[in-house]
Amino acid sequence: NAGVMQNPRHLVRRRGQEARLRCSPMKGHSHVYWYRQLPEEGLKFMVYLQKENIIDESGMPKERFSAEFPKEGPSILRIQQVVRGDSAAYFCASSPPTSGGASYNEQFFGPGTRLTVL
Amino acid sequence: KQEVTQIPAALSVPEGENLVLNCSFTDSAIYNLQWFRQDPGKGLTSLLLIQSSQREQTSGRLNASLDKSSGRSTLYIAASQPGDSATYLCAVKRLTGGGNKLTFGTGTQLKVEL
C-alpha cells in the first residue's frame, strides 16, 4: 500500500505566479489535511477536506489560498499570486474514515512539497 | 486555544544513553496524542499514537506516556543510536469542537553522537 504521495517535491515560483500542490491520499483514505511549516516554525493546520467537501478551513489564509478534493483525482492546494512569505514546506496527511463518516484515526503524512518563492 | 510546548528545544547526547523528551499541552480535552519523527528535508514519520484513555504506548526502544490531567506526555528513547538523530514532534487532537486537526509542538532537535 503506497503511502501519501505529494508532488512536486520541490516547486520554485516567482512572485505573482500561481502554485499548485497535489496530494494523493493513501488507498482507502477519504480524509485529507494540509499543514504548512514555515522556516523556523512548527507545523500549522491549514484545511481539512473530505471528498468534494471542505470540512474545516480555519487555518487557511483568507486570501489567495484555496483547496479542493474532487471526487476523482488528488487533492489540490492552490496559492495564487505567491509572495515570498509563502515559501514553506507544505505537508499533506490522510486518514481513513470511521463509521458515521467522522475520522479520529491516525493521520499519515506525505513527504511534503517545498515551495520557494523568488 | 490549544498550545503545545516541547522541552528541550535541542538535545545532544552520546550514543547509548537513555533520554526523555517532554511535551506539554494547555487543554486537557484531547482525543489522542501522536509523536512524530522528522528528518531534515523529509516528511513526518508517525512513531506512537496514544488515545486519551491510554497511559502509555511502546514500540521497540520507544515508550510514550500520557498524563492527560496534567497536560503532559513524555517520549522515552532507550539506548540511543546515531540513527535516532532527528527532530521529534508531538501533536494533539482536540476531543470536540476542533475538527480533526492536529496541533503541533515546535519540536525537539535530537543529535546522538558517536
pLDDT value at residue B1 = 84
pLDDT value at residue B91 = 96
Low-confidence ranges of chain B (pLDDT < 50): none
Grid coordinates standing for B104?
Answer: 503541533
Residue closest to A5 by CA, chosen among A86, A77, A91, A115: A91
Is A31 an interface residue toward B (CB < 8 Å)?
yes
Which amino acid makes up residue A9? R
**Interatomic CA distance for residues A32 and A16, integer angstroms:** 27
Cα distances (angstroms) measured from residue B21 to each of A42, B10, B73, B74, B107 = 17, 10, 8, 6, 9
Q: Do A42 and B93 touch (CB under 8 A)?
A: no
Collect all residues of chain B within an 8 Å Cβ-Cβ radius of residue A48: 99-101
Least confident of A61-75, A85-99, B57-71: A85-99
Is B81 an interface residue toward A (CB < 8 Å)?
no
B36 CB burial (10 A radius; 0-12, 13-18, 19+): buried
Residue A99 clears pLDDT 70, i.e. is over it: no
Confidence of residue A103 (pLDDT cuts 50, 70, 90): very low
